[in-house]
Amino acid sequence: MKAIRIHETGGPEVMHLEEVEQPTPQAGEVLIQVAAAGINYADLSQRKGTYLTRTHVPTTLGFEVAGTVVALGPGVTAPEVGTRVAAIANGGYAEYTTAAASAVLPIPPGLDFRHAAAFPVQGITAYQLLHESGRLAQGESVLVHAAAGGVGTLAVQLAKFMGAGTVLGTASNASKLDLARRLGADVAINYTEENWAEQVQEVTDGKGADIILEMVGGRITEQSLRCLAPYGRLVVFGAASGERASFSSVQLMYKNQSVIGYWLTAWMQRPDRIAHAVSELMKYLATGKLEIVVGQTFPLTEAAAAHQAIAARHTTGKVVLLV
Ligand SMILES: NC(=O)c1ccc[n+]([C@@H]2O[C@H](COP(=O)([O-])OP(=O)(O)OC[C@H]3O[C@@H](n4cnc5c(N)ncnc54)[C@H](OP(=O)(O)O)[C@@H]3O)[C@@H](O)[C@H]2O)c1
């Protein structure tokens, strides 16, 4: 089968389309014929060797797929062969991959593969950032950074559905800000402008945002703390800039503020909480109101170009590889 592999960490040029052996599902696993592979920002970090865990090479990239179950490993009786599924699975940039049978999600009717591939990682993350980490209460204001991105487009909508008051979205250009507004952001702010944090203060009547979902790192984290409300929660879930933030822990005491880390991989050790997130997301999807924005698709063979587009901040919503 064909797969996008790396033999060393580095730039997009280390990604190669190769012929490799089709995987065999082990006990408890299913074999999925991949129709669409979701790209996550973490894939870029894995390729560069800067992810939270070490990149062991050679490896096939990709953490997320949608496709059809074509074989069952020993001891597996469900889902049946032929079921359309989405899954968090290692080695997703390939024609076939395996996943734990217990961890695959049947795709709801009406959702095609390219949209289903956009859903597991970013959907669960967006929901848990608000519910588990942010502990969103009715009427609270929420600021979503990179609101036109994969996690961001879902988080803006979910915040509204989950009862947030004012939802603010940031992005780096006008068309991304328009997208954030179209998805329900009450206020859209360009965070490349020097005074963006002051703009947040202004629209929240000087109070600041109750919850801030932060994934840029460095200066944006530091400025986010300046526009966080008393009792506010700053949820840190990425560092797209690659920069580290520096702030005073003592300063947090004045306003009873919290800084909270989020990593989906660690939450996977709590299947009950993941199941809760999935079931809530399925309900929102069933209403037809939750829009999964697939901004760009690329053929599997052009995975490197897809990575380049994401790194250059040229993408909106989810970026999907069609296999
Ligand atoms: N902790 C977890 O478990 C978890 C799970 C999923 C995602 N994440 C994190 O969430 C963030 C979003 O992930 P995603 O997959 O949905 O990606 P994405 O938001 O679709 O793409 C990244 C966006 O980040 C923004 N950005 C800001 N500063 C940037 C910089 N210096 N370089 C590149 N992009 C920059 C860009 O939007 P603008 O042009 O509008 O600035 C860009 O479009 C990433 O940091 C990712 O690592 C974490």
- Copy the structure tokens of residue 40: 């996550």
Angstrom CA distances, 222 to 27, 101, 187, 216, 287, stand at 47, 42, 21, 10, 38
Cis status, amide bond into 79, omega within 30 of 0: yes
Give the chain's residues under pLDDT 70: none
Tell me which residue of 227, 157, 220 sits closest to 185, measured CA to CA: 157
| Positions of E strands within 54-166 | 59-60, 64-72, 84-88, 96-100, 104-106, 142-144
Tell me which residue of 39, 37, 46 sits closest to 10, measured CA to CA: 46
Q: Which residues are 72's β-sheet partners?
A: 30
Per-residue pLDDT tens digits for 15-39? 999 999 999 999 999 999 999 999 9
Q: What is the pLDDT of residue 103?
A: 83
Cα(201) to centroid of ligand 1, in Å?
23
Which of 215, 260, 319, 320, when mutated, tests ligand 1's pocket best, judged by the most ligand atoms within 8 Å of its CB?
Answer: 215
Q: Please indicate whether residue 51, judged by its CB atom, sits closer than 6 Å to ligand 1.
A: no
Cα(152) to centroid of ligand 1, in Å?
8
State which fold the 2-119+292-322 domain adopts: Quinone Oxidoreductase; Chain A, domain 1 (3.90.180)
CATH architecture of 122-265: 3-Layer(aba) Sandwich (3.40)
| CA-nearest residue, atom 9 of ligand 1 | 238
Q: How far apart are CA 265 and CA 275, in angstroms?
A: 14
Q: Please indicate whether residue 221, judged by its CB atom, sits closer than 6 Å to ligand 1.
A: no
First to last CA, the chain: 11
Tell me which residue of 8, 13, 15 sits closest to 37, measured CA to CA: 15
Q: What is the pLDDT of residue 169?
A: 98
Check: CB of residue 124 under 8 Å from CB of residue 105. no
| CA-nearest residue, atom 42 of ligand 1 | 313
Angstrom CA distances, 8 to 12, 15, 56, 62, 87, stand at 11, 9, 9, 15, 26
Residues whose CB falls within 8 Å of the CB of residue 289, separated by 6 or more in sequence, listed in order? 157, 161
Cα(149) to centroid of ligand 1, in Å?
7
For the chain, the structural domain boundaries read 2-119+292-322, 122-265
Q: How far apart are CA 107 and CA 99, in angstroms?
A: 15
Per-residue pLDDT tens digits for 225-283? 999 999 999 999 999 999 999 999 999 999 999 999 999 999 999 999 999 999 999 99
Q: Please indicate whether residue 172, judged by its CB atom, sits closer than 6 Å to ligand 1.
A: yes
| CA-nearest residue, atom 35 of ligand 1 | 240
